[in-house]
Amino acid sequence: MTYFCKKSHFYLLLCFIHFISFSNMKKVNLILNIVSILAIAVLYVLHFADDSRHGSQPVSGDSQVSAVKGDIVFINLDSLVNQYDMYNDLNTELQSKASTIENELNKQSRAFENDVKSYQDKMQKGLLTLSQAQTTEQELAMREQQLRQLAQQRQLEMADETNVMYNKVMDAISTYVSNYNKDKQFALILTTTGATNTVLGGDQALNITEDILKGLNEEYIRNRNK
């Protein structure tokens, strides 16, 4: 009778541990979803660049710029950036790095998920002692936190690199336009984008996007081949 009671208490304890473990595994599965979301977020910092293409217009090679000294001219910044070779080269490199990061996060999250399933299976079959179950849960909890931190770190890294990329591109454009206007001497150079239309309409003869794009790409290819 005493043995039966002790055995019953032992199984009640195991059932209790299993209940706690099941609750924790629900949390672990939630964390796996968070890791996946963060992995997607890493790529999202790049996707908005592709979204901007929908608002840009291809630069026509047939436009005739007849603006003269003192005129107010404008640039379609979306079209300029998206067809600028420097931007496309840097963006390709960034997309490649983002894919590598996504693969890294997916690989680690899959390994973690497999270990969680293995733990759950052993608990259901009663193959772990209380001490082993506690140790395994502590290890899984630590890995859970490390995965969360890794995903957040990679997300911040990609956001930072994306920001630096755009700063490089905009600095190159700004420098070129400044030097370009030393010769042209326009009174004002405005920019328009899909998000902020400073110029709602205007004579296409005052649109210098094509001229700027041609000069930028020639300069970039020349410097890249040095």
Give 113-163 pLDDT, tens digit per residue: 999 999 999 999 999 999 999 999 999 999 999 999 999 999 999 999 999
**Cα 136 from chain centroid?**
33
Residues 6+ apart with CB under 8 A from 46: 91, 94, 95, 98, 158, 162
Question: Percent of the chain scored above 70 by pLDDT?
Answer: 69
Between 60 and 167, residue with greater pLDDT: 167
Domain span including residue 131 = 2-224
Residue 226's pLDDT is what? 74
**pLDDT greater at residue 221 or residue 27:** 221
Give strand ranges (E) for 64-181: 72-76
pLDDT tens for residues 32-90? 554 555 555 555 545 544 554 544 555 555 556 788 999 999 999 999 999 999 999 99
Cα–Cα distance, 215 to 75 (Å, whole number): 13
Q: How many domains does the chain have?
A: 1
Nearest to 74 by CA among 210, 182, 214: 210
In the numeric block, which tokens belong to residue 210? Answer: 């094509």
Confidence of residue 204 (pLDDT cuts 50, 70, 90): confident
